[in-house]
Amino acid sequence: MESPQSLLDVAKAADLARLDQASWQTKRDKMVKTCKQCHSVNFAKEQLQHGDEMIRNADHLMAQAIREVAALYKDGVLATPATILCIPCVH
C-alpha cells in the first residue's frame, strides 16, 4: 500500500494539485485568460465559481458518507474487513 506522502509526491509530479494560494491563483488566472477569448471575464469567473461550489458540495457529500459508514462500523452493522485498503490506491 502506498503512503499518503508518496501519493502526494505523485500528485505534485503530475501537477495535479494546487498546494498553495499562489499556485491556485496562477492556474485560475490562466483559465480565465483562456475563457475570455470567447466569453466575458465575468462569465468565466462565474463558471469557475460554479465549479468551486460543485467541488465543495461533493466534498460535503463524501464527508457525510464517510461519517455514515464509520457509524455503521462503530455500531457493528458492518464487520471490519481483515485488510483496509486506502482509496484510491486499491490494489
Tens of pLDDT, residues 15-74: 777 888 998 899 999 999 999 999 999 999 999 999 999 999 999 999 999 999 989 988
Contact 2, 89 (CB under 8 A): yes
Are the C-beta atoms of residues 47 and 35 closer than 8 Å to each other? yes
Q: Is pLDDT at 1 greater than 60 in this prediction?
A: no
Residue 54, pLDDT score: 97
CA distance 9 to 11: 5
pLDDT at 83: 74
Contact between 15 and 30 under an 8 Å Cβ cutoff? The reply is no
Q: pLDDT of 70-89, one tens digit each?
A: 899 889 998 887 776 655 54
Q: What is the pLDDT of residue 16?
A: 79
pTM: 0.66
For residues 14, 20, 21 and 23, what is the CA-based torsion angle, rounded to 10 degrees?
Answer: -30
DSSP 79: P
Q: What is the pLDDT of residue 77?
A: 94
Residue 89, pLDDT score: 45
